[in-house]
Amino acid sequence: MANVIVNGRVYTAIQLIAFDKDGTLLDFHRLWGQKAQQWIHWLVEQAGNAVDNRQSLHQALSRTVGYSPETGRVIDDSPLSVASLPRLTDIAATVLYQHGVGWHNATQIAQASLSACISTPPTADQVQPLGNVSSIMAQLVHAGLRTAIITSDDRLPTEASLPHLDIAHLIDVIVCGNDDIPNKPAPDALWWIGQQYNIEPAHMLMVGDTASDMIFGRRAGVAGCIGIRGGAGDQTALSKQADAVIDSIEGIQVVK
């Protein structure tokens, strides 16, 4: 166990800290801005002649999933920022259908887009750590804390991103959006992790960049919910739900 200090507040007897991934450990907009641009372009191209106005489809996809072509950023608190990949697939298929693509074809195109664009392993250029992530994780582990990542992203790209952050050897457990565990904000992932390591939620902290992450931790009964600024979530909503808000995980201090 260790005492963890965030913004002057002390959380005592902490055994595990769980982290969201995108927007918490790495720059959300750098990764998903590039992925979104590729994804939407791919969907429009695959729709082909079934669509009369490709520009209109491109605009509708961008608006509905939550991507701004003008800024290259994901819109705060949008489906792209918080939804699981199966839900994003349903959204994409619906927009394609609304623009003239038959439903069967629309669902096939949307499903194929996952392996073609969304679920592909990130490149080193797409993964930019938010602060000195590797050093902080090493400090947590050295202090005897367990570490977890709980993300809506799929397992393949999640595991592929960890070497770019230099933390693959520092994470005890990962729960992903395509695992057989209900996704955030349902509290099941934290409860499941607690069972694996015999750790009560009252001895855990949850760190994330969205209000949904904070609600997730609160529902599970963790000792504290820590928000990270500048990620994918609405900043006002994040501040209201978080016990503390910091710029990066460098704001987490550990005292044995």
Q: How far apart are CA 31 and CA 28, in angstroms?
A: 5
Please report the pLDDT score of residue 213 as a whole number: 95
Instruction: Decide if 222 contacts 244 (C-beta within 8 A).
Output: no
Q: How far apart are CA 254 and CA 6, in angstroms?
A: 9
Classify 167 as helix, strand or coil. coil
Question: What Å distances lie between residue 241 and 24, 81, 214, 222, 231, CA to CA?
Answer: 16, 17, 6, 13, 15
**Cβ-proximal residues to 96 (8 Å cutoff; 6+ apart), any chain:** 43, 47, 51, 57, 105, 106, 109, 110
Q: Strand (E) positions, 69-199? A: 73-74, 146-150, 173-175
Query: pTM (2 decimals)?
Result: 0.86
Tens of pLDDT, residues 189-247 = 999 999 999 999 999 999 999 999 999 999 999 999 999 998 877 888 899 999 999 99
Counting as low any pLDDT under 50, the low residues of the chain are none
Instruction: Decide if 161 contacts 122 (C-beta within 8 A).
Output: yes
Which residue ranges form the domains of the chain, and what is each CATH number?
2-27+128-255 (3.40.50.1000), 29-118 (no CATH)
Please report the pLDDT score of residue 51 as a whole number: 85
